[in-house]
Structure 1
């Protein structure tokens, strides 16, 4: 199912609740490091209690045992989606998936490939990756699928090749989404909601174009309609 995930890039609980109070129905939101480290696990529980879905975006990347324990704790918060870095390797990812076995309600577990704030020049000159950006994303996504995870975070520009190579059921969660009238900010591989739909994204992650809008709810509805196209919203 396609959906728009709103990035709650706020500093504290009060800002989050004030923002969510402007919405007339439950939405899918992303809780990242800034908010989680400020408020702790309770903010996830509180958002869930309001009826919203939560993508807990903590990008686990550590030794396999540590990541497995982190996934265990995060899954206990009833988050709907968790993520880790594919760069952590297959053993780390398989261990994380193993931790979710036997749970009655399992969150989606996805992996970050190459951050959308990075471009090929950075990948080669600073990280010394020999593959092209697209090849690196496909390589990491292939490892992710082989490790048993359900999908990846990537740029919408990379979705067609990933879907072709890994199948339509392999989920793509795509940040770096900006309406035509919005500035790209610190994102480098940017597309519009309509482009993301055409490219085949399953979920788009949108932050400032909604959270900084004069009317966040109206901005959300406009972006969601553009992304969902003819689908019922």
Structure 2
């Protein structure tokens, strides 16, 4: 079955209450391919939030926990996550290869691991302040590719990266290695003081090879969230000549 425009869209449930999250799951069901559950909502609601999404939508589930701990702890945590029946979970690539490998082992083929390369609100100044080598400061793409290589070697399903790095990741690691892109902003929603530093539009991201695009505020804060999601779908399909 050919992938449709909506299948590229990951909508983050970045809400402080179950009520709000449920409203948007029901509202956007059929217009997004996946719902992302982040730390705030998961800490507040626990595994029950996953069941809520499953009860109200056929969309897939992305649990964005960005695990980062000693290898044994991460493996055990991933074992628990796998039993929840989610499709994707994030693990930081800023730790060791061993931790990534143990995360994949913990998923046990039930839940796929995505490696987080470099957060999209990070830029060269952030990398420099963290004490990285000059080569990574001068070209943050090198750091992203270094971490993507670790994720690939460890058996991760793919990585989270900005749209600007997608093309190189696909060239080096192949089409089956997922590229999940946050920091997505349609041209009609760009803000002067956006907290995302490395942004791309939906059309640009999928044209470059992104498999999934995480897009929240432009849909969530629109007067008509469903229409906003449908506009994103149209932009994606136009970029891929699917319309």
The residue that corresponds to 2:222 in the other structure is: 213
Q: How many residues align?
A: 229
SS at match of 2:94: helix
Q: TM-score under structure 2 normalisation?
A: 0.89
Q: Which residue of 2 aligns with 1:181?
A: 188
Q: How does 1:167-178 map to 2 (within 5 A)?
A: 167-178=174-185
Report the alpha carbon displacement of residue 64 of structure 1 after superposing the two structures with TM: 0.4
For the residues of structure 1 that align with 2:209 and 2:127, how far apart are their CA atoms?
A: 25
Whether contact under 8 Å (2:31, 2:226) holds in the other structure is no
Is the Cα–Cα contact under 8 Å of residues 178 and 193 in structure 1 kept in the other structure? yes
* Cross-structure match for 1:129: 132
Partner of 1:45 in structure 2? 51
- Structure 1 residue aligned with 2:202: 193
Q: d(CA) in 2 for partners of 1:3 and 1:220?
A: 11
Unpaired segments ≥5 residues, structure 2: none
Separation of aligned partners in 2, 1:176 and 1:228: 19
Partner SS state of residue 24, structure 2 = helix
Q: Distance in 2 between matches of 1:45 and 1:77?
A: 9
Task: Please name the residue that 2:124 is paired with.
Answer: 120
> Larger % of helix: which?
2
Secondary structure of 1:55's counterpart equals strand
Once residues 216 and 29 of structure 2 are traced to their aligned partners in structure 1, the CA distance between those partners, rounded to angstroms, is 18
> For 1:177 and 1:26, how far apart are their aligned partners in 2?
17
Match of 1:74 among 52, 73, 81: 81
In structure 2, relative to structure 1, the CA distance for the partners of 1:219 and 1:137 (3 Å cut) is same
2:68 to 58, 61, 64: 61
Describe the superposition over 1:38-81 as per-residue Cα deviations: whole angstroms up to 9, x where unpaired. 11110011102222311000000000011111111111111111
Is residue 204 of structure 1 aligned with residue 207 of structure 2? no
- Per the TM alignment, residue 143 of structure 1 is displaced from its structure 2 partner at its CA by 0.6
Q: Which residue of 1 aligns with 2:166?
A: 159
Following the alignment from structure 2 to structure 1, what is the Cα–Cα distance between the partners of residues 114 and 225? 27
* Residues 137-156 of structure 1 aligned to structure 2 (within 5 Å): 137-156=144-163
Cα-Cα RMSD: 1.6
CA contact (8 A) 1:178 1:190 kept: yes
Is residue 26–residue 53 contact of structure 1 (8 Å, CA) maintained in 2? no
Deviations 1:153-190 (A, max 9, x none): 00010111111111122110000000112134210001
Aligned-pair distance for 1:232?
5.2
Structure 1 unmatched runs, 5+: none
